[in-house]
Structure 1
Amino acid sequence: MAWGAAAILFCVWTLPFAELTGTSVTCTFSEDCVLPCTFKASSDEVIHWNRNNFIVHSYYHDADDLEKQDKHFEGRTSLFKDQIKHGNASLLLQNCNIQDSGQYSCHPSTTQGAQESWVDMKVHAPIRSVNIEKIDEEVICSSQGIFPAPNVSWTTDPPTQSDMLNNSTQTTQDPNGLYSVQSKVSFMGNVSDYAYICSVTSADGMQKWKTSMRQQGGNQLPSWIIVVIVVIGIGIGIGIGIWIGIWIWKKHQTEKNRDGVGNPGDQVPSGAFIAPGHDHVPPDEFGAEYELLTLWVTQKLTMPGTSQDPSAIREFRGPLEPSLRPDTIVSVTGLSQQTSLVQVGKSPC
C-alpha cells in the first residue's frame, strides 16, 4: 500500500506541467504585427494559436494545418518556421484591423511537455494629420482615421476663458471602426489678431497634435459678398476696356476723315485757294479751324463751256498752292466733319 502511494506521488512529480505566462502588445492598423510566444525547444513540435476558442493558426510536425482556421484570419497568419526548432512559436499577423483586438493564447508542446501563454493584443490607428480651415464665421478643426476616438480641445492666443469659446465637436465611425472627428469654434465678435488653437489628443495621451489659425483685422466679409465684389470688378474692367476701344476707334476715324483718302495720282490744280495769306481758315468764318496742308478740294472748272457741267466737278487731294484763280469753290472737311464752301476772289497775280 505504501509502495502504491509512493508510485502515484512519483508519477505526479514527473509528469510535464504547463507554464502560463502573459504579455501585451499594441499593433498599428493596416500594418503587420508579431505576437510573441516561446517554449523549451525539443522535437515533435505542435503549436496552436487560439482566440476566444477560435483557431487562429495550427502547426503539426513541420507543417501548417489550417483546415480549421477561422476565416477572419485566413491568409494573414504565419509562423517563423526556421525559428521553431529554437523554441520560437511567435505568430505573424498581417494587415491588422480593429477586429483583431483581443486575447490570444499560444499552446506549444514537444516531447518535453506542454506550455501555455497568452497575449493581450490591442490595435490602434494613430493621429496622422489635423486640418484647420475658416468657413464664414467659424474655425473648423478635423482629423480622420483614428482609433480609439481622440479628444479635441480649443485654446486661444492671447488666452481667453474657456466658456467664451462657443465650440461643438462631432465624432463618427466608419465601417473599418476608425473614428473621424470635427470640431467647430465661432469667432469671438470683432476681436482681431487672435490665434485659435485646436489640439487633438489620442485616447492614451501618447499623441497630441496642435494646429492654429490667426484672425487678422477682425471678421472678414462673408464669401458670397467677396464673390459679388469680384464679379462687379470684372464687369467694370470689361466696361472700361470697351470704352477705351470705342474711343480709339473714333479717334482713328476722325484722323482718317481729316487726312482724307483721295486718289494718290490726283494733283491739286493751280488755283485752289482759301483766304490768301492765311494758314488756317478763321474759326469765326467756318465754325471750326481747319488744317490746310492736306485737304479735300472741290474745284469748279472755269474753262468755257464747262463751268455749269456737273461732270466737271472733281475732287483732289494734296498740298494747296499759293497761286490763285477766280471762280474757284473750295470744300474743306475738318475735325468737326463739317464741310464749308468758299468762293475765291479774283487772283492778285
Structure 2
Amino acid sequence: MARIGRLAFLEVLTLLWTLSRGDTDVLCVFMESCMLPCSFRGGSDVIIHWTQMKTRQSFVHAYYINQNVLAHQDQRFRGRTSLFEEQLSAGNASLLLREVQIQDQGRYKCFTDVFHANEDSFVNVKVDAPVREVHIQQEGERITCSSEGIYPEPNLTWTASPSSGVKLRSTTIVQPSQRELYNISSSVTHSPSDAGLVYNCTVSSASGGKTASLSSRLKSSEQRHRSGGEETCVFNASCILPCGEEADDVEVIHWHHFYEEKKYIVHSYFKKVDHLENQDRRYKNRTSLVEDRNTKRRTSLRLMRVQIRDQGRYECYTSNSGKPSKSYVTLHVDAPVDSVSVRREGNSTTCSAEGIYPQPQLTWSTEPPSNVTPRGDPAVQQTEDQLYSITSSLTLSDGDRSLSYSCNVSTRSNWRKVTPRQYFYNGTNIEIPCRASSASSQDFSLIWRYNRSEIIVSRTLHSVADNVSDQWKQQVKEVSESGNLILQNLTPQQGGIYTCELRQAGNGLVTENWMLITQTPTRQSERSVSPKVRGIVVAVVLLIYITVVGLIISQTICKTRGNPSTDSVHGVRDRRRSAESENSSSPEATSMV
C-alpha cells in the first residue's frame, strides 16, 4: 500500500511539472519551412511520434527501430516532414515541416520513449502569410490599392501627405481566396483640387505591413533607372516611359509598342480625352498619361503591373497644330531575386529560387574553401509569365559537416546569398553569427528575424542605434559591429530559425541559424512560473503528501495492534475454557457428580 502511494505521488508530481511548463508557441510562415522544437534526455533506440491534436488526431511523423516509419502518415503531410536524425542521440526530436499551409495550424504532440522512459511535449503552431507587396494605381479620379495572399485577415488604411485636413472616403473589400488566404482592395476618389497630394496606402496583418504611395504626378514607389533612351522597370510594378514633347499644347498623342515585328496600340489621346477603343487588350486597365518630369507636359506613359512581354521599343507620336513629332524609348524588365530557400534532408542540401528574370545563375561556396561540388548543373524552368525558377542540390559527406556552405542566386539586377547553419545549444545566453564575411555590417541595412517573420532587431544603413522590438528587449543584449546577435535569458521555447538579413542596393546576404535550445531547470526558470500557479501546485502537492502519510501511518498501527474485534472474540473464548478447566479439577465439583 505504501509503495502504491509513493508511485501515485510521483506520477502526480510529474503531471504537475508537465502542466507548469506549458506549451511552446511557434509562428510559421506560409509556404516556408518551420521547425517544431522537441527535446528529450537522449539515448539510443528512441521512439518518436509526432501527432496533430485536432478533432481527429492526425499522424504526422514517426521514428523507431532507427528509421522513419511513415506508412500511416496523414496525406496532408506527405513529403513535407523530416527529423534531424544526426542529432537524435543528443536529444533533438524536433520536426522540420516544409511548405507550411494554413491548415497546419493547431496543437502538436511530441511523444518520445527511451528504454520505457517516455515524455510528452506540446507545440502550438500558428501560420502567418505576411503582406509581401502592395499595388497602387490611378484610373481617372479613382485611386485603387490592393494586396493578395495574406493571413490572417488584413487591414487597409489610407493617409495623405502633406496633411491638409482632407478626409479620405474609401471603399474596402476583403475576399477569401484559395488556400484560406485573403485578398484586400480599397479605392478613394482623387479631386483635381487635391493636386500635389501623395496618397499612402498601408496593408497590415498580425506580423506587420507594407505601404505604397502615389502622387498626382508620380508614384514614389515606381522603380526605374534612366539610361538615355532606355528604361528598366521591375516586374509587376509601375513604370513611367517619357515622351519628351516640349510643345505647349499637345493635341494628339499615340503610344505604340513594337513587339515581335508587330505594332500594337498602347494608348491614344485626342480631342482632350483618352480614346482606348482600339487599345490592344494586353494593355487594358494598365495605362494612363502622366506629366513628364522634364517638360511638365502630360505626355509620358504610365504602364502598370509591368509584365515580361512588355519589353521592347515604344514610340510616342504627338501632333500639335498639324506638326507631328516622334520619340522612342526601349523598355527592359527585371524580376529581381526576392528570396532564396535552402532545405536539408540527410546529407543532401537543396537550394532554390523562383519568379526571376532574366535567367539567373546559382553557385555554391564553402568556408573554408573545399572541393565539394553540386550534383550536376542547376535545373532551370520557365513559367508562362516567362519568369524563371532555379534549383540545385549539394551532397555533403560526414567529413564535410564542419563546413559552412552558402548558396548564391544572382541576375543582372541583384543577388542574394543564403548561408544556413544548425546549432544544438545548451544554455541561456548565446551569440548567433550573422555571416562569414570580413565586411562590416555598417555597410548594409540589417534585420534579424525569428522564424523568418517576427522582427527581433533592425539597423538602417549608417545608423547609430539599433531598433529592438518590444517583445525581444529582455533577450537582446547587443548587436556586434559585424552583425552578430547576442541574446540572453533564452528558454527552450525560443528555439527556432534566427535569420540575419543584410541588404545593400537591392542585394542581400542572408544567414539562417537553426537553433535548438535546451537547459537544466534553474531558479530563473522557476521564477518564470507565476506566483498563482506556483501556489496551486504547492497546495496540491502538500495535500497529496498528507494523504499518503496518513495512509502509511494507519496501516502501520493496524499491523501493530491487530484487529480489535477479532481480539475480543478470542479473549471471551479463552476465559470460558479457563473457567471450565478450574471447575472440573476442584473437589467440590467431584462430590456433586
TM-score (norm 1): 0.58
1:25 and 2:21 are equivalent in the alignment: no
Q: Which segments of 5 or more consecutive residues in structure 1 lack a partner in the other structure?
A: 239-349
Query: One-letter code of the match for 2:216?
Result: Q
Q: Give the equivalent residue in structure 1 for 2:4.
A: 8
SS of structure 2 residue aligned to 1:126: coil
Q: Larger Rg: 1 or 2?
A: 1
Task: Report the CA distance between 1:11 and its aligned residue.
Answer: 4.6
1:61 to 62, 65, 80: 65
2:176 to 173, 176, 185: 173
Whole-angstrom distance in 1 between the partners of 2:190 and 2:42: 67
Residues 194-233 of structure 1: matches in 2 within 5 Å?
194-202=197-205, 204=206, 206-216=207-217, 225-227=273-275, 233=319
Task: Let me know the Cα RMSD of the aligned residues.
Answer: 3.1
Q: Give the equivalent residue in structure 2 for 1:35.
A: 36
SS of structure 2 residue aligned to 1:159: coil
Whole-angstrom distance in 2 between the partners of 1:194 and 1:223: 26
**CA 1:77/1:235 → structure 2, altered by over 3 Å: closer, same or farther?**
farther
1:130 and 2:138 are equivalent in the alignment: no
Q: Give the equivalent residue in structure 2 for 1:190.
A: 193
1:144 and 2:148 are equivalent in the alignment: yes
**CA 1:30/1:132 → structure 2, altered by over 3 Å: closer, same or farther?**
same
User: CA offsets per residue over residues 183-226 of structure 1, 9 Å max, x none?
Assistant: 11101352321111111222x2x423222222259xxxx98614
Assess if the C-alpha contact under 8 Å between 1:42 and 1:112 holds in 2: no
Residues 78-157 of structure 1: matches in 2 within 5 Å?
78-111=82-115, 113-157=117-161
Q: Give the equivalent residue in structure 1 for 2:76.
A: 72
Task: Report the CA distance between 1:13 and its aligned residue.
Answer: 5.8
Bigger share in strand: 2
**CA 1:15/1:231 → structure 2, altered by over 3 Å: closer, same or farther?**
closer
User: CA offsets per residue over residues 4-57 of structure 1, 9 Å max, x none?
Assistant: x12323554677956454201111111111100011123431111111211111
Query: One-letter code of the match for 1:149?
Result: E
Whole-angstrom distance in 2 between the partners of 1:157 and 1:14: 66
SS of structure 2 residue aligned to 1:24: strand
Assess if the C-alpha contact under 8 Å between 2:141 and 2:191 holds in 1: no
Assess if the C-alpha contact under 8 Å between 2:130 and 2:209 holds in 1: no
Task: Report the CA distance between 1:100 and its aligned residue.
Answer: 0.9
Residues 239-318 of structure 1: matches in 2 within 5 Å?
none
**CA 1:149/1:8 → structure 2, altered by over 3 Å: closer, same or farther?**
closer
Assess if the C-alpha contact under 8 Å between 1:136 and 1:223 holds in 2: no
Whole-angstrom distance in 1 between the partners of 2:9 and 2:161: 72
Task: Report the CA distance between 1:124 and its aligned residue.
Answer: 0.9
Whole-angstrom distance in 2 between the partners of 1:122 and 1:170: 25
**CA 1:127/1:107 → structure 2, altered by over 3 Å: closer, same or farther?**
same
Whole-angstrom distance in 2 between the partners of 1:152 and 1:104: 33
Whole-angstrom distance in 2 between the partners of 1:77 and 1:136: 50
Aligned residues: 229
User: CA offsets per residue over residues 135-192 of structure 1, 9 Å max, x none?
Assistant: 0111111112211122111111122446x31211112222122222111110135232
Whole-angstrom distance in 2 between the partners of 1:13 and 1:150: 50
**CA 1:37/1:44 → structure 2, altered by over 3 Å: closer, same or farther?**
same
Assess if the C-alpha contact under 8 Å between 1:54 and 1:70 holds in 2: yes
Task: Report the CA distance between 1:97 and its aligned residue.
Answer: 1.1
Query: One-letter code of the match for 1:108?
Result: T
**CA 1:192/1:89 → structure 2, altered by over 3 Å: closer, same or farther?**
same
**CA 1:83/1:143 → structure 2, altered by over 3 Å: closer, same or farther?**
same
Query: One-letter code of the match for 1:8?
Result: I
Whole-angstrom distance in 1 between the partners of 2:160 and 2:143: 12
Query: One-letter code of the match for 1:63?
Result: Q
Residues 300-339 of structure 1: matches in 2 within 5 Å?
none
The sequence identity of aligned pairs, in percent, is 35
Whole-angstrom distance in 1 between the partners of 2:217 and 2:11: 79
Assess if the C-alpha contact under 8 Å between 1:57 and 1:77 holds in 2: yes
Task: Report the CA distance between 1:131 and its aligned residue.
Answer: 1.7
Query: One-letter code of the match for 2:43?
Result: S
SS of structure 2 residue aligned to 1:233: strand
SS of structure 1 residue aligned to 2:178: coil
TM-score (norm 2): 0.35
**CA 1:107/1:193 → structure 2, altered by over 3 Å: closer, same or farther?**
same
Query: One-letter code of the match for 1:193?
Result: G
Whole-angstrom distance in 1 between the partners of 2:11 and 2:170: 66
SS of structure 2 residue aligned to 1:72: helix
User: CA offsets per residue over residues 296-339 of structure 1, 9 Å max, x none?
Assistant: xxxxxxxxxxxxxxxxxxxxxxxxxxxxxxxxxxxxxxxxxxxx
SS of structure 2 residue aligned to 1:201: strand
Whole-angstrom distance in 1 between the partners of 2:141 and 2:36: 50
SS of structure 2 residue aligned to 1:41: coil
Assess if the C-alpha contact under 8 Å between 1:165 and 1:188 holds in 2: no
SS of structure 1 residue aligned to 2:193: coil
**CA 1:157/1:55 → structure 2, altered by over 3 Å: closer, same or farther?**
same
Whole-angstrom distance in 2 between the partners of 1:188 and 1:234: 28
User: CA offsets per residue over residues 255-302 of structure 1, 9 Å max, x none?
Assistant: xxxxxxxxxxxxxxxxxxxxxxxxxxxxxxxxxxxxxxxxxxxxxxxx
Q: Give the equivalent residue in structure 2 for 1:255.
A: none
**CA 1:195/1:67 → structure 2, altered by over 3 Å: closer, same or farther?**
same
Assess if the C-alpha contact under 8 Å between 1:150 and 1:201 holds in 2: yes
**CA 1:14/1:170 → structure 2, altered by over 3 Å: closer, same or farther?**
closer
Task: Report the CA distance between 1:237 and its aligned residue.
Answer: 4.8
Task: Report the CA distance between 1:115 and its aligned residue.
Answer: 0.9
